């Protein structure tokens, strides 16, 4: 029995020893040897840029978007290669948006968008329910004028243009609405500071710079209603929707790069993508005027009548000979076909196009913000055929001659798309020219300073054309479904930002021989559906 007790005691002791023995990996993750940072030093990483750097998605800055910002994704990976703490000026919730002195302005600083089943009664009496991007319920809880203490590694300022980063007072609360940016107000070190000063003061060892998108984006998303300021070297005179002069861009941009490399920081310069390939411009097709054979014939004959009335008017007013009038009017005798047809858009009236409208060309773009209901049901982009107009048309078809008032009724029935809803080919050319000039500056500086360089232009072109295959899917630019772009059609999803982070880390590794591990984009969210 004594022996038995001994054995039992042994069993009990043995049990105790073994129970407290959790399995151990040969190399525990927590005790891993740091990955090499190569020739780079990630101990103090500062990210400079605009909304794309801040992590804006779904139309606003919100908490989850910031956590999935490309600088934060990179900082998490840098942590295993000597990276230090990475602080972001976090919004306090997932509603997003900002209050200014307690006031909520959903047009300027809205809450985020989600995809929600929404009823619409676009066609009269016929209610349809479909998933649509809508503002989430609730109001922002983050006050812009509450200045956060300390300095921040993510210095992305939504809305900032290239020259704004060097602008003193850009974070002055009294300048909100005029010269200041509410997002920078939140974390500026003092009201007279500039973003670049605050960045340099942190003595970064590593930086990323992705600025300049807004120098063309505002122009693009306003449908080109701004001014192309090329040739105007005074950015203080620019409006929000203007294109920045490429020399202004170059001098601002090179100033930042000089300042950052001047303190010995290494980093990555990221060029500017083609804004016209983002879903904001590619979602509403320019040929969505879908007609039956009868409708097409009707519209074609309407425009024959239109051309006739226009020519007749010119001759009657003595402004042209019949031959000249015929030649000028011919452009308005537009032919429509069964199936999809391109819409009509406004253009500035000119001697060659006195009526100031024409049919869209293949590469011209409609904005996501256009009223698609009007487009579908109210003749926006073609003709509003009221009973009165139809009466006049009937009279003419029966061989009658319209009165001057009746003629005007027909001419005014044309409802071409407003300039604010469309990017025409001239505007696209201006945007592309400016972008190419900015990108030449960026590439040249990267080469001159030996910095890493990411060609985001090519990368996002690939997303927009073939898509990019990641774990668990193909990321494309298709609105809602593509996975790359968020519900504002301009900013990326967390998955899109992960793709950017991976590519920045790739060029970092290539340039500096570092060993940052890429992330799996498929594990990052796309849009939020309700």
Partner 1 sequence: MRKLLVLGLFTLMAGAIYAGGYRTSLQGQRSLAMGHAGVAVVNSAELVFFNPAGLVYLENKLNISTGAVGIISKGKYQNFGTNQEAETTNDTSVVPSFYASYALNEYFSVGLGVYAPYGSTISWEKDWAGSHLVNEISLAAIYINPTISLKLADVFSIGGGPIFAVGSVEFNRNRDRTLTDRNGIRSNVTIEDSGVTGVGYKAGFLFSPHEDIRFGVTYMSKIILEVEDGDATFSNFPDIAQIPNTSTFSAELPLPAEVTVGLAYQVTDKFLLALDFNRTLWSAYESLDLTFGDGIPASKNPRNYKNSSVYRLGLQYDPTEKITLRAGYYHDETPVRLDYFSPETPRPDANGYTGGITYNINDHFAIDASFLYLTFQETTASYNGYFENDVAAPFEGTYIANAFIPGIGITYKL
Query: Would you tell me which residues interact with partner 1 (CB under 8 A)?
Result: 1, 3-4, 7-8, 11, 14-15, 18-19, 21-30, 32, 64, 76-77, 79-80, 94, 114-117, 131, 136, 469-474, 495, 517, 519-520, 522-526, 528-530
Buried b (16+ CB within 10 A) or exposed e, 98-136: bbbeeebeeeebbbbbbbbeeeeeeeeeeeeeeeebebb
Helix (H, G, I), strand (E, B) or coil at 383: strand
d(CA 75, CA 154): 10
Helix (H, G, I), strand (E, B) or coil at 379: coil
DSSP symbols for 325-348: HHHHHGGG-----SEEEPPEEE--
CB of 283 vs partner 1, minimal distance in Å: 18
Q: Which is nearer to partner 1, 269 or 475 (CB)?
A: 475
Q: Which is nearer to partner 1, 202 or 503 (CB)?
A: 503
Q: Encode 199-212 in three state secondary structure.
A: HHHCCCCEEEEECC
Enter the tokens of residue 50: 């605009």
Alpha-helical segments (H) within 322-455: 322-329, 372-377, 387-397, 404-411, 425-449
The answer for residues whose C-beta is within 8 angstroms of residue 110's C-beta and 6 or more apart is 59, 60, 96, 97, 135
CB of 366 vs partner 1, minimal distance in Å: 26
CB of 83 vs partner 1, minimal distance in Å: 12
The answer for residues whose C-beta is within 8 angstroms of residue 194's C-beta and 6 or more apart is 165, 166, 167, 168, 169, 170
CB of 520 vs partner 1, minimal distance in Å: 6
If you compute the radius of gyration of the chain from its CA atoms, what whole number of angstroms results?
30
CB of 496 vs partner 1, minimal distance in Å: 13
Q: Which is nearer to partner 1, 7 or 128 (CB)?
A: 7
CB of 385 vs partner 1, minimal distance in Å: 37
Enter the tokens of residue 105: 């302005």
Q: Which is nearer to partner 1, 162 or 508 (CB)?
A: 508
Q: Which is nearer to partner 1, 385 or 518 (CB)?
A: 518
Q: Which is nearer to partner 1, 14 or 285 (CB)?
A: 14
CB of 116 vs partner 1, minimal distance in Å: 8
Q: Which is nearer to partner 1, 182 or 483 (CB)?
A: 483
CB 498 within 8 A of CB 487: no
CB of 480 vs partner 1, minimal distance in Å: 11
The answer for residues whose C-beta is within 8 angstroms of residue 291's C-beta and 6 or more apart is 299, 336, 337, 338, 339, 341
Q: Which is nearer to partner 1, 376 or 525 (CB)?
A: 525
């Amino acid at each position: 029995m004594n022996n038995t007790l001994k054995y039992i005691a042994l069993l009990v002791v043995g049990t105790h020893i073994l129970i407290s023995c959790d399995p151990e990996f040969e190399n525990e993750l927590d005790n891993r040897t740091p990955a090499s940072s190569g020739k780079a030093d990630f101990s103090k990483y500062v990210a400079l840029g605009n909304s794309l750097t801040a992590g804006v998605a779904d139309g606003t800055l919100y908490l989850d978007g910031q956590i999935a910002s490309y600088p934060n994704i990179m900082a998490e990976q840098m942590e295993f290669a000597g990276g230090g703490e990475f602080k972001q000026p976090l919004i306090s919730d997932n509603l997003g948006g900002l209050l200014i002195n307690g006031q909520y302005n959903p047009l300027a600083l809205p809450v985020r968008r989600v995809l929600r089943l929404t009823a619409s009664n676009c066609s009269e009496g016929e209610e349809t329910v479909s998933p649509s991007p809508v503002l989430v319920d609730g109001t922002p809880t983050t006050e812009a004028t509450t200045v956060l203490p300390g300095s921040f590694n993510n210095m992305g300022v939504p809305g900032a243009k290239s020259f704004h980063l060097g602008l003193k007072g850009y974070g002055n609360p009294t300048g909100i609405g005029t010269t200041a940016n509410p997002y920078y107000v939140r974390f500026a070190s003092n009201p007279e500071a500039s973003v670049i000063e605050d960045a340099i003061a942190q003595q970064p060892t590593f930086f990323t710079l992705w600025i300049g998108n807004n120098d063309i984006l505002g122009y693009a998303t306003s449908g080109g209603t701004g001014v192309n300021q090329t040739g105007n070297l005074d950015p203080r005179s620019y409006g929000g929707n203007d294109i920045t002069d490429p020399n202004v861009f170059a001098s601002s941009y090179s100033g930042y790069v000089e300042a950052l490399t001047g303190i010995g920081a290494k980093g990555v310069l990221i060029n500017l993508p083609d804004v016209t390939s983002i879903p904001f411009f590619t979602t509403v097709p320019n040929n969505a005027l879908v007609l039956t054979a009868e409708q097409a014939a009707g519209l074609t004959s309407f425009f024959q009548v239109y051309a006739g009335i226009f020519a007749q008017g010119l001759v009657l007013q003595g402004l042209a000979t019949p031959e000249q009038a015929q030649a000028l009017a011919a452009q308005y005798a537009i032919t429509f076909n069964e199936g999809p047809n391109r819409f009509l858009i406004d253009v500035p009236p000119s001697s060659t196009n006195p009526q100031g409208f024409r049919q869209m060309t293949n590469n011209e773009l409609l904005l996501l913000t256009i009223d698609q209901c009007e487009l579908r049901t109210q003749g926006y982009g073609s003709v509003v055929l009221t009973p009165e107009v139809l009466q006049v048309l009937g009279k003419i078809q029966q061989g009658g001659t319209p009165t001057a008032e009746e003629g005007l009724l027909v001419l005014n029935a044309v409802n071409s798309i407003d300039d604010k809803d469309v990017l025409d080919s001239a505007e696209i050319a201006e945007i592309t020219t400016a972008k190419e000039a900015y990108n030449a500056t960026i590439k040249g500086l990267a080469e001159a300073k030996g910095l890493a360089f990411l060609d985001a232009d090519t990368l996002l072109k690939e997303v927009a054309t073939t898509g990019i295959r990641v774990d668990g899917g193909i990321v494309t630019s298709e609105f809602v479904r593509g996975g790359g772009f968020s519900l504002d059609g301009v900013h990326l999803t967390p998955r899109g930002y992960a793709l950017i982070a991976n590519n920045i880390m790739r060029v970092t590794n290539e340039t500096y021989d570092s060993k940052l591990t890429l992330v799996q984009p498929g594990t990052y969210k796309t849009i939020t559906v309700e």
